[in-house]
Structure 1
Amino acid sequence: FSNLPVFAAHMKADYDIKVSGVEISPFPVARGKETTFSIAASTSSPQFFYKAVSGGKLIIDVSYFGWQIHSESHDLCSETSCPVSVGDFMISHSQVLPGFTPPVSHFYSLETYVARCKQGSYSLKMRMVDDKKHQLTCIGFDFSIGFVASDNVAES
């Protein structure tokens, strides 16, 4: 689904929801333009055979070179169809990043810029909790913000 490395924030955790990939459109992310993060996920816990998740929250934290710069929370049912039941589903979140968001190249030489773009200078951590505050998943991925957007990027 994308070529962005997606990592489980707690590698040893066995989450009820598994994320298989992330797609960012447009890519690279463009300042002042709407960006959509689409996340492919699936339910994996036996609890979903008995009761679907009928509500909860997405908690998103964004860091820039390791410093947390933004945090927000969204109703789960506004980002995907509820109830979330057994099988594959998609979470889609769109927002406009502020026009003053610094691009990577503002601070670096071309060589360093290329190296940083490969790993991403912005990091996004997303947690999903149900309406009882039970953590269902926690993932993260790195991304870059450029001057001009091009094609979508997808990871599988």
Structure 2
Amino acid sequence: MRSYFGVVFACTLLCGASAFEWKTCAEGKADVSHVSLTPDPPQAGDTIKFSIDAESKIDVAEGSVAIAVAFRGLPVYSETKDLCERTTCPVAKGPLNLSYDEYLPPIVPPGPYVVTISVTSGDATEVADQLLCLEVDFDIAPPGARDVLDDISAGIKSKLHSGRRALA
């Protein structure tokens, strides 16, 4: 029985470490309702996908998406892309879905990352409106970590299933 609780405790620690968190970092003209990151946790060599569901309060003809990545608090990457490459333009007032895929090279170190995603409307000739700003905190897992999590999860399911049979 003691080993069962040890496995549950280990899984709780590992599974808790794999979850990502997000929060808004500025008021904007869109309300964010959902953010997903797949795979979770990502590993070096993966292509990660951020998907953002929001509700735009304004019509948007064009805009930009700025991405800034920090590793352990140090800026390591940034880019700005056309909003219309990430979603269908023009964006009408109402539901808005943005997606962003990024390949993680095999040399990316495991550890904590913060990705700031800032979306603005307009172009360089007009005053831009902030649509949304998000900070997404996640860890890049060391190689093989997902396999360990899968093995632990399978072991727990097996123990739970065999425990149910024993009780029946």
Question: Normalization by structure 1: what TM-score?
Answer: 0.72
**Are 2:127 and 1:136 aligned?**
no
Shift of 1:24: 1.0
CA distance in 2, matches of 1:86, 1:93: 21
Structure 2 residues without counterparts, runs of 5 or longer = 1-18, 150-168
Shift of 1:5: 2.8
**Are 2:91 and 1:84 aligned?**
yes
The SS at the match of 1:85 is coil
The equivalent of 1:55 in structure 2 is 62
**Are 2:55 and 1:42 aligned?**
yes
Contact 2:20 2:40 in 1 (8 A): no
CA distance in 2, matches of 1:25, 1:141: 12
**Are 2:118 and 1:102 aligned?**
no
Contact 1:58 1:128 in 2 (8 A): yes
**Are 2:104 and 1:74 aligned?**
no
In terms of fraction of residues, the more helix-rich structure is: 2
Q: What is the identity, as a one-letter code, of the residue corresponding to 1:23?
A: S
The equivalent of 2:40 in structure 1 is 27
Which has the higher mean CA deviation after the structures are superposed, 138-147 or 126-135? Answer: 126-135
Q: What is the identity, as a one-letter code, of the residue corresponding to 1:61?
A: A
* Higher gyration radius (CA): 2
Structure 1 residues without counterparts, runs of 5 or longer = 105-120, 152-156
The equivalent of 1:8 in structure 2 is 24
Contact 2:21 2:138 in 1 (8 A): no
Shift of 1:134: 2.5
Percent pairwise identity: 30
Q: Deviations over 1:47-80 (max 9, x none)?
A: x2xxx20111100001111111110111101101
Evaluate the alpha carbon distance shift between residue 27 and residue 20 of structure 1 in structure 2; reply closer, same or farther with a 3 A threshold. same
The SS at the match of 2:85 is helix
CA distance in 1, matches of 2:110, 2:115: 16
CA distance in 1, matches of 2:106, 2:32: 30
The equivalent of 1:118 in structure 2 is none
